[in-house]
């Protein structure tokens, strides 16, 4: 396990450097002048030169990149143009809200996925299977940008059970979490069903049943446990969707996280903030991926060897 | 009793996709109301005979905007998926057929692109490129090609070891002949599955970007920006969010079912 951990941590370096470089490249190399965009078409040449100097954009690209890398090493992401605050501070203030939302979405996904997947996988072809999988295919297809407003109409405006937008107590978290978690729940339920069906055909299940274990006990003790590894893998694969889903969910529910910070910064042409947020999202994803791989290695020893 | 369909996903998916495509192609011809014409007398009007889906905050006909939005959504998705498929396959095949050093280099690049979760890369690119349809297509393609590259590389690497490929190779078949005649046919199934899901995925991503103001700009009707505009009127005019929401959901559902159906048929999972 230690060897596997070291190998995975070492592999983190090139990917992180690649992510950092690509984020830099998107902001600095893609056509379109951020300074002109920031100041507007009416800005005079003197303003443009001044702004360019202030942001260090008049220096050679390699120097800009070096300054950027050195800054990153000490946690300096530059200063926001619209907030006049360090970008790292803006992100640090909002990061917990994003993690809270993502975690809540994950909980919703798991709470929905397990019963659905088990109902479907325990009796494939039955009415429960059809219902659960019908829900799943709809859940995968309904986009966040529709599910969010739909839930708002139903639970905030009509029934008045839950607050419409913003962050606060648990009540504020419910609708955003359901909006975010439904698609993942559907994907996980389908995955769980499939692996349960595959496990049912295995020798150890036949042995368990033939030695007189009840179908239910065999399903829970052997079926679920073996199906779990593929669920963990799929959770890892779907974390990207969950993270970029938070971005959209935050916009729908005015949730004060880094997704909303990113989108408003794009609107305000606040490029240092855009750069910092994109980098934070990507690096969070890289770390989360590593974590799921490690969890998988703990759950399934075979992973460590290959 | 209805006859049991062997592959219901394929049948239902194909039906939905056909309906959406017909609506996109012929809809604006039959329902020839201008999607941009403003009529202040009809502001936020509910469904009626003249406007079956009602009118938006500027009194524009929602049905016409949905139909034109379907054209935009479908054409962008098909274009983006086609380009992603071509570029991704080329890169994947190059990786698989070149030496291990080039392969490593390419796959590292794929890993880096994949390190940007979901539509983040498209959002970042769209933010810098600015809104607009061509920029939107570029941003979505930059995000979408990796899946195809991975599939083609993986399949080609396994197919290469097959006896019929080894036989052709030892008979002196050229690299391009090997690729076109022997390797490509084996990759078509998985690619078709991936591309079908891909179209649904791009429909959703395009809608999300337009919703965020990074895609098609108003007044151009797109499902995403219609949903965004409708959010201000959730209580008084829920049809403004329902219509584009159902359009997006139904289209994605159609392509997902179709993808499931094709996967079942070719025996491959994407």
CA A265 to chain centre: 20
pLDDT at B268: 54
Band of pLDDT at residue A33, cut at 50, 70 and 90: low
Band of pLDDT at residue A142, cut at 50, 70 and 90: very high
Which residue has better confidence, B4 or A122? A122
Most B-contacting residue of A145, A160, A234 (CB-CB within 10 A), to test interface: A145
User: Is the separation of the CB atoms in B117 and A281 below 8 Å?
Assistant: yes
Using a 10 angstrom Cβ sphere, with 0-12 exposed, 13-18 middle and 19 or more buried, the burial of residue A153 is middle
How far apart, in whole angstroms, are the C-alpha atoms of residue B224 and residue B205? 9
Neighbours of A145 (CB within 10 A): 28
Q: Which residue of A has its CA nearest to B113?
A: A19
How far apart, in whole angstroms, are the C-alpha atoms of residue A8 and residue A229? 19
Using a 10 angstrom Cβ sphere, with 0-12 exposed, 13-18 middle and 19 or more buried, the burial of residue A125 is exposed
How far apart, in whole angstroms, are the C-alpha atoms of residue A7 and residue A12? 9
Q: What is the pLDDT of residues B82-95, one digit of tens each?
A: 999 999 999 998 89
Which A residues in the span 168-207 are in contact with B, Cβ-Cβ below 8 Å? none
Q: Is the per-residue pLDDT at B270 higher than 50? A: no
Angle between helices A225-252 and B120-129 (to 10 degrees): 30
Largest CA distance in chain B: 76
Paired tokens of A40: 């507007």
Encode B222-243: b = buried (16+ Cβ within 10 Å), e = exposed: bbbbbbbbbbeebeebbbbbbb
Give the one of B117, B214, B246 whose C-beta lies nearest to A243's C-beta. Answer: B117
Cβ distance of B115 and A262 shorter than 8 Å: no
How far apart, in whole angstroms, are the C-alpha atoms of residue A147 and residue A145? 6
Largest CA distance in chain A: 85
Residue pairs spanning A and B at CB distance below 8 A = 141
Share above pLDDT 70 across residues of chain B, in percent, rounded to a whole number? 97
Angle between helices A127-141 and A87-122 (to 10 degrees): 160
Element (H, E) at B199: helix B184-211
Q: What is the pLDDT of residues A236-288, one digit of tens each?
A: 888 888 998 999 999 999 999 999 999 999 888 888 899 899 999 999 998 88
How far, CA to CA in Å, does B235 sit from each of A149, A177, B44, B61, B222?
A: 10, 22, 11, 19, 22
Calculate mean pLDDT across residues A111-126.
88
Using CA atoms in the order A259, A265, A271, A274, what is the torsion angle rounded to 10 degrees?
Answer: 0
User: Measured between beta carbons, which residues in chain B are less than 8 angstroms from residue A141?
Assistant: 200, 249-250, 252-253, 256
Paired tokens of B161: 């070891």
Is the CB of residue A149 less than 8 Å away from at least one CB of chain B? Answer: yes
Cβ distance of A141 and B252 shorter than 8 Å: yes
Neighbours of A300 (CB within 10 A): 15
Give the minimum alpha-carbon distance from A236 to chain B in angstroms, rounded to a whole number: 11
Neighbours of B49 (CB within 10 A): 5
User: Measured between beta carbons, which residues in chain A are less than 8 angstroms from residue B204?
Assistant: 143
pLDDT at B1: 39
Using CA atoms in the order A271, A275, A277, A283, what is the torsion angle rounded to 10 degrees?
Answer: 180
Q: Is the per-residue pLDDT at A163 higher than 70? A: yes
* DSSP SS3 for B216: coil
Neighbours of A83 (CB within 10 A): 16
> Which segment of A174-183, B52-61, B140-149 scores lowest on mean pLDDT?
B52-61
Q: Using CA of residue B41, residue B241, residue A150, residue B232, what is the dihedral sign? A: negative
Calculate mean pLDDT across residues B178-196.
85
Cβ distance of A146 and B227 shorter than 8 Å: yes
pLDDT at A229: 77
Which residue has better confidence, A176 or A79? A176
Calculate mean pLDDT across residues B223-251.
90
pLDDT at B3: 52
Phi, psi of A270 (to 5 degrees): -90, 80
How far apart, in whole angstroms, are the C-alpha atoms of residue A59 and residue A210? 75
Cβ distance of A243 and B120 shorter than 8 Å: yes
Neighbours of B219 (CB within 10 A): 12
Q: Which residue of B has its CA nearest to A33?
A: B128
Cβ distance of B252 and A267 shorter than 8 Å: no
Phi, psi of A79 (to 5 degrees): -115, 140
User: Measured between beta carbons, which residues in chain A are less than 8 angstroms from residue B117?
Assistant: 239-244, 281-282, 284-285
Q: Is the per-residue pLDDT at B40 higher than 80? A: no
Q: Is the per-residue pLDDT at B53 higher than 70? A: yes
Cβ distance of B116 and A278 shorter than 8 Å: yes
How far apart, in whole angstroms, are the C-alpha atoms of residue A77 and residue B172? 56
Q: How far apart are the first and last CA of chain B?
A: 34
Which B residues in the span 48-87 are in contact with A, Cβ-Cβ below 8 Å? none
pLDDT at A189: 93
Give the one of A143, A144, A149 whose C-beta lies nearest to B231's C-beta. Answer: A149
Which A residues in the span 46-105 are in contact with B, Cβ-Cβ below 8 Å? none
| Cβ contacts of A41-45, under 8 Å, gap ≥ 24 | none
Paired tokens of A97: 């809200």
How far apart, in whole angstroms, are the C-alpha atoms of residue A223 and residue A206? 11
User: Measured between beta carbons, which residues in chain A are less than 8 angstroms from residue B244?
Assistant: 146
Work out the angle at residue B139's Cα, subtended by the Cα atoms of residues B133 and B141, and round it to the nearest 5 degrees.
Answer: 100
Calculate mean pLDDT across residues B89-104.
88
Cβ distance of B234 and A153 shorter than 8 Å: yes
Q: What is the pLDDT of residues A198-215, one digit of tens each?
A: 887 788 888 888 888 877
Q: Is the per-residue pLDDT at B227 higher than 50? A: yes
Q: Is the per-residue pLDDT at A101 higher than 50? A: yes
Cβ distance of A140 and B256 shorter than 8 Å: yes
Cβ distance of B116 and A157 shorter than 8 Å: no
Q: Is the per-residue pLDDT at B235 higher than 90? A: no
Which B residues in the span 174-203 are in contact with A, Cβ-Cβ below 8 Å? 200
Q: What is the pLDDT of residues A68-98, one digit of tens each?
A: 899 888 888 888 888 889 999 999 999 999 9
* DSSP SS3 for B55: strand
User: Measured between beta carbons, which residues in chain B are less than 8 angstroms from residue A155?
Assistant: none
Band of pLDDT at residue B195, cut at 50, 70 and 90: very high
Give the minimum alpha-carbon distance from B147 to chain A in angstroms, rounded to a whole number: 12
The whole-chain average pLDDT of chain A stands at 86
Residue B240's nearest CA partner among B18, B20, B42 is B42
Residue A106's nearest CA partner among A239, A304, A213, A258 is A239
Cβ distance of A244 and B260 shorter than 8 Å: no
Q: Which residue of B has its CA nearest to A274?
A: B124
pLDDT at A48: 79
Q: Is the per-residue pLDDT at B221 higher than 70? A: yes
């Amino acid at each position: 396990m230690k060897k596997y951990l070291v190998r995975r941590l070492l592999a983190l370096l090139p990917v992180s450097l690649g992510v950092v470089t690509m984020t830099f490249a998107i902001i600095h190399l893609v056509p379109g002048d951020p300074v002109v965009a920031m100041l507007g078409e009416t800005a005079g040449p003197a303003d443009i030169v001044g702004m360019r100097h202030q942001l260090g954009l008049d220096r050679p690209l390699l120097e800009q990149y070096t300054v950027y890398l050195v800054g990153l090493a000490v946690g300096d992401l530059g200063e926001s143009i619209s907030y006049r605050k360090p970008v790292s501070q803006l992100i640090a203030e909002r990061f917990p809200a994003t993690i809270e939302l993502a975690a809540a979405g994950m909980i919703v996904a798991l709470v929905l996925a397990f019963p659905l997947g088990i109902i479907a996988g325990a009796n494939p072809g039955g009415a429960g299977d059809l219902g659960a999988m019908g829900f799943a295919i709809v859940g995968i297809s309904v986009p966040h940008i529709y599910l969010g407003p739909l839930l708002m109409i139903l639970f905030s405006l009509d029934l008045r059970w839950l607050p419409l937008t913003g962050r606060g107590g648990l009540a504020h978290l419910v609708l955003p979490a359901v909006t975010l978690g439904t698609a993942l729940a559907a994907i996980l339920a389908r995955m769980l069903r499939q692996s349960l069906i595959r496990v049912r055909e295995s020798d150890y299940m036949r042995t368990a049943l033939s030695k007189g274990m009840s179908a239910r006990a065999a399903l829970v003790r052997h079926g679920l446990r073996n199906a779990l590894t593929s669920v963990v893998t799929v959770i890892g694969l779907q974390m990207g969707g969950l993270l970029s889903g938070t971005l959209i969910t935050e916009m729908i529910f005015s949730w004060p996280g880094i997704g909303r910070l990113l989108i408003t910064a794009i609107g305000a042409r606040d490029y240092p903030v855009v750069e910092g947020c994109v980098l934070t999202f990507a690096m969070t994803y890289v770390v989360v991926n590593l974590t799921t791989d490690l969890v998988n290695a703990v759950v399934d020893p075979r992973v460590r060897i290959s | 009793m209805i006859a049991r369909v062997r592959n219901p996903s394929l049948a239902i998916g194909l039906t939905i996709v056909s309906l959406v495509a017909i609506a996109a192609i012929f809809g604006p011809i039959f329902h020839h109301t201008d999607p941009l014409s403003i009529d202040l007398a009809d502001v936020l009007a509910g469904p009626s005979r003249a406007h079956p889906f009602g009118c938006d905050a500027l009194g524009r006909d929602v049905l016409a905007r949905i139909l034109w939005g379907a054209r935009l959504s479908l054409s962008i998705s098909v274009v983006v998926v086609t380009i992603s498929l071509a570029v991704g396959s080329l890169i994947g095949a190059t990786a698989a057929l070149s030496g291990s050093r080039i392969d490593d280099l390419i796959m590292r690049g794929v890993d880096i692109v994949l390190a940007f979760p979901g539509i983040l890369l498209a959002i970042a690119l769209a933010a810098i490129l600015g809104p607009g349809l061509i920029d939107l297509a570029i941003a979505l393609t930059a995000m979408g090609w990796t899946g195809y590259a991975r599939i083609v590389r993986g399949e080609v690497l396994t197919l290469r070891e097959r006896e019929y490929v080894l036989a052709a190779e030892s008979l002196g078949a050229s690299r391009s002949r090997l690729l076109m005649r022997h390797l490509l046919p084996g990759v078509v199934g998985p690619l078709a599955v991936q591309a079908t899901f891909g179209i649904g995925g791009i429909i959703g991503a395009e809608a999300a970007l337009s919703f965020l103001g990074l895609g098609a700009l108003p007044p151009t009707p797109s499902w995403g920006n219609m949903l965004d505009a409708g959010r201000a009127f959730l209580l008084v005019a829920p049809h403004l969010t329902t219509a584009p929401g159902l359009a997006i959901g139904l289209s994605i559902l159609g392509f997902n079912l179709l993808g499931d159906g094709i996967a079942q048929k070719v025996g491959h999972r994407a």
